[in-house]
Structure formats: structure tokens, C-alpha cells
Structure 1
């Protein structure tokens, strides 16, 4: 009995996705997918149930990496350390190995590069993912990229990724906005964080108190910006209280000096 290799399985999966996309294009929507399922031995009601049943976003699932993914991460890091990173050698490796990864392995590779704060490699895989036939714009995909870029203080790349999310009309919820503002403030980019805060205030979603508290905690080192957010918070939630950090005045400093003198 002949054993199917991993690469053959990848090729078959890629062909299957192309056929599904062609069926959707011919059918003009869900009807094309149901026709494809029926044509390939499945029942029409099964296709409809699969299309309507809720499923966890692929960006939120646990990302387990196979051997091919581990090899790709290792080789990408090796290419990054070598001279001429980003040239023909990298492009050849992406075409020969990265683009042939299964979806789960490709997402696991991206998550691992983000975890290791490898910004150039993460951006490269980010572009590869967006070109895949199965790719659909997703809030969690962009959130993870933006948080990683904020953690590394890369404002230029963050603005580019943010621009991509706007072009694809990705909508962030209030909790995601709070996480992003906090991440950029912690990463030393409070101005960019406040741009996200401005978009959060313009969002059609109703405001929530928890994201505001997350932002206020991240702005402790920026009192002027914190005052602005605090004023908005008190207007939106008049019955709630914000605990400010203790302020040390001149008398307290004198008392501290006296205590030090007593010790010596």
C-alpha cells in the first residue's frame, strides 16, 4: 500500500481549496460551496450545516507546530543571521518551503516568530499569510501583529499593518482597542497608542469600563494623557471611581530626608 507523503497531502489540500474557490465564484456565494460538497460525495444539508455552525476563529485556536514548521523557523532564523538577508535566498526559501506549509503549520510559525520578537521575519510571514487562498481578514490576526510590533517599538511597521487592517475593513472590539492602547503605551509609543484610543472613541460599539481601566493603568507614566482618558471615563461612567496613584509632595520628601539622617 502506497503511503501519501506530507508534500502530496499539501498539494492535494491546495488543489481542494482552489476547487472550492472556483465553485464559490461560479455559484456566486454559498450555493457554489453546497454544489461543490454535493458533487464530491457530501450531502447538501451537511454543507449548509457546516456553513451555519459557529466555529472558533483559526487565529484563536491552539497553534501546534509540526516538523516542517520547526524546520522553517530554524532556517528563517539562520537566513536572518546570514549576510544579504531579505534577498534572493530568502525569497527562494519562502517559495520552496514556507508557501508549501499547511495552514496550521504556517500560523504556528507566525505565532512562534511573534513570540520571539523577530520583527522582520514576522512581517515576512505576515505577508505570506495574507496571500494565501484561505486567508480571511480577522481581528485577532491583526491584534497579535500590532501587539508584537508595539512590544518592539516599531511604529513604522505598526502603522503599515494598521493601514492594512483599515483597507480590509477589520473592526476591532472595545477590549482589543484597550489591549492595543496599553501595548503601545508600555512599548514607549504613547502617541500612537492615543491614535488607537481616538479610533476606539469613534467606534460604533458601546463603550465598556474595563478597556478604559486597562488604558488608564498603562498611562501612569504619562499623566497628561491619563487625565484626558480619565475625563472621558468619568463622563461615560459617572457612577464609577478612578483611583489615582499617590502623589508625593515636598513635605513627604522632607520627611524622607529626616528619616535618612536619623538612620545615619
Structure 2
């Protein structure tokens, strides 16, 4: 990131609570950043989980003349939103992605679904899983295995995905964890908190 990018990032963070000044700064300075700087600032804010600023820069990037819809751009936004449990923003980004006809490959779908599951957003994860199933890409077993592992705390949802997996890959075996694996971790957490 260049010096201009660093200055812009610092100023954006400083102005994020002042919407009028923030919008003015975005219009006068951020929109003049080079492509690499703008994308770098967005990536840095994603790393820092600065959801509000990421959404602002997301809109700026999408308005740029050089912008082309990109699977990785959307994946990174969705993963950051999953980490921060931002369902409304996720829906907005997903709508934009659909309008721009961006297609994810099976591995990216698997990573996204797992990201939402790991961040305790099973409904969003299953919505993405539905999109994955409707994808024109040929199903692959690895993304299903990644999703199944993430679904261990959600046995009902796991059974549905497991049935789909066995239907698509009839010769494969699915590892089923012991029934009490989730209960054991809950008991350990309670025991640890009792000791404190």
C-alpha cells in the first residue's frame, strides 16, 4: 500500500463517525486512489473487521471504471461479514453478486458455508448451501466434507447435507462423530467456568 493509501485509511478510520465529512472525504480523496491502493485499503479494513468502512469502500470499488465482477472480491466481503455476523449486509452483497452474475466454484461455496457455520450463522450457511446445490458446477466431494464437518453442532442440518452427499457420491463414506461430542464440549466449558 502506498503512502496515499495509508493516509486515506487513517483518515477514513478517523472520520467514520462523521457521515457528512466521511462522504466528502470519500468523494474527494478515496475515489482518486489508484486501483491497487483502493483494493489494499479495502483488504486491510476487511482484516481489521471494519464492517462500516468496508461497506463504504465496497460501494466505491463497484463504481470505479476499472471494476469487473470478481469471485474473490465477493468471497472476501462475505467472509468478513460472516466473521462479524452481519446478516443484512451479507444479503445486500449477495444480491449484488447475483445481479452481476458472479459464479462461485464449489470450493469457494464450501469455504463460505463453513465460514458462516463457524460464526454461528446456520441459516445463512444453509441459504448459501442451497445456492451451491443449484450451481452449474459439477459437485465435488471435498466442499461437502468441509461443510459436514462444520455442521457437527447442527445435527438436523448435517443429516440433510449428508443425505445429499451420499446421493451425489454413493460409494463414499461419511464419518459421523460420536453423538456426545457437542455435549462434551459444553460440559467442559461449564466445568472450566465453575473452576474460575
Please confirm whether the aligned pair reaches a TM-score higher than 0.5, indicating the same fold.
yes
Provide closer, same or farther for how the CA distance between residues 248 and 153 of structure 1 changes in structure 2, counting only shifts above 3 A. Answer: closer
In structure 2, the partner of 1:78 is 14
Asked if 1:198 is matched to 2:140, the reply is no
In structure 2, C-alpha distance between the alignment counterparts of 1:207 and 1:143, rounded to whole Å: 19
1:111 to 20, 43, 49: 43
In structure 1, the partner of 2:143 is 211
Deviation at 1:68, TM superposition (A): 0.9
Deviation at 1:247, TM superposition (A): 2.3
* Larger Rg computed on CA atoms: 1
Unaligned runs of 5+ residues in structure 1 are 1-64, 250-264
Deviation at 1:76, TM superposition (A): 1.1
In structure 2, the partner of 1:187 is 119
TM, length-normalised to structure 2: 0.90
2:161 to 229, 239, 245: 229
TM, length-normalised to structure 1: 0.67
Moved more, 178-187 or 113-122: 178-187
In structure 1, C-alpha distance between the alignment counterparts of 2:81 and 2:180, rounded to whole Å: 35
In structure 2, C-alpha distance between the alignment counterparts of 1:131 and 1:233, rounded to whole Å: 40
In structure 1, the partner of 2:99 is 167
Deviations 1:118-164 (A, max 9, x none): 00000000000000000001111111101100110000000000000
In structure 2, C-alpha distance between the alignment counterparts of 1:68 and 1:248, rounded to whole Å: 54
Paired residue secondary structure (1:175): helix
In structure 1, C-alpha distance between the alignment counterparts of 2:46 and 2:21, rounded to whole Å: 22
In structure 1, C-alpha distance between the alignment counterparts of 2:113 and 2:27, rounded to whole Å: 36
In structure 2, C-alpha distance between the alignment counterparts of 1:217 and 1:68, rounded to whole Å: 43
1:91 to 15, 23, 35: 23
CA RMSD for the aligned pairs? Answer: 1.4
Higher relative contact order (CA 8 A, sep 6+): 2
In structure 2, the partner of 1:134 is 66
Q: Which runs of 4+ in 1 moved over 3 A?
A: none
In structure 1, the partner of 2:32 is 100
Paired residue secondary structure (2:25): helix
In structure 1, C-alpha distance between the alignment counterparts of 2:166 and 2:172, rounded to whole Å: 7
Unaligned runs of 5+ residues in structure 2 are 182-196
In structure 1, the partner of 2:174 is 242
